[in-house]
Amino acid sequence: MVPQWRVGPVVLPVHGVFVGLGVLVAALVFTAEARRRGAVNDQSLVAVTGALVGGAIGTRLSGWAEHVDLRLNRTLLQAWEFGSRSILGGLLGAYLGVLIAKRIGGYTGKTGDLFAPAVALGMAVGRIGCHLTEAPGRPTGLPWGVHAPVTTPKCPGCLTGAAMHPSFLYEIGFQLATFVVLLWLRSRVPHPGELFVLYVAGYAVFRFFVEFTRANETVWLSLTRPQWFLLPSLLLIAVRLGYGYRRGYYDIVLKRQAVP
């Protein structure tokens, strides 16, 4: 059963409430950052629209490719209606949505730096809903292990009363810390688009390793589906960071003298 809050005659899904709050917080941070940079214009609104539409589609369809044998997967319609909701799919969908919206609108400017701090803080808020409604993580003997109700879906540890990793709290802490770091970096990484690259790189590395504490099913070589999705992504990100390093995009942060 989906955890819900009742406010008078209105029933609100707990997870959905925090997802909505996360989107609202991200929109407010994006607007504030766009104003600070003098980038509040039709193009930035087009980018936001593309991110919202692409993110919604990516989130809802991300549970489609669960099996290598495509015949075993749901249809796209079934995945849309009943499939799992993946934040990685949402982020990928949002990124593609921005690219498509910018291409349609003929806008070639960089908008990633506006999204980076907004996404980080919005994710921190949205993950509160995950912590309150989903299986926390794998069993642990660490003193900060948490217990969840036996009614929590897909949570064998909840039935046995085992202490589990508070994996979503780990991510909330990461996203909040990243938001602060991004605010510090924004004047030290002046090249357009690099702030977003650094955020994606940091989150990809964090997410790969935090998966070892998550309750997600392992599919091959003790790795989960998100980890297999992230492995090739991490290789591409490493290449992209190397490109930025050689171009001197991070010289101020690294206190490295630019090569003439």
More confident residue, 186 or 259: 186
Q: Tell whether 1 is covered by a domain.
A: no
Asked whether residue 255 is assigned to any structural domain, the reply reads: no
Distance of alpha carbon 95 from the chain centroid = 11
Tell which residue, 212, 189, 213, has the closest CA to residue 201: 189
Is the pLDDT at 14 greater than 50, yes or no?
Answer: yes
The region of weakest confidence among 24-28, 64-68, 109-113, 134-138 is 64-68
- Please give the residue that has the higher pLDDT: either 38 or 167: 167
Whether 257 is in a domain gets the answer no
Taking the C-alpha atoms of residue 122 and residue 133, their distance in angstroms, rounded to an integer, is: 18
Q: What is the pLDDT of residue 70?
A: 46
Which range has the worst mean pLDDT, 62-66, 112-116, 117-121, 126-130?
62-66
In-domain check, residue 4: no
Whether 140 is in a domain gets the answer no
Name the DSSP letter for residue 9: T
Question: Is 114 within the bounds of a domain?
Answer: yes
Alpha carbons 193 and 145: distance in angstroms, whole number: 38
Quick one: pLDDT at residue 83? Answer: 46
Which one has a higher pLDDT value, 73 or 104?
104
- The tokens for 233 are 């992504």
Average pLDDT score over the chain: 80
The answer to whether residue 7 sits within a structural domain is no
Distance CA 246, CA 251 (A): 9
Tell me if 152 is assigned to some domain. Answer: no
Q: What is the pLDDT, as a whole number, of residue 68?
A: 46
- Domain residues for the domain of 223 are 12-133+166-247
Domain count, the chain: 1
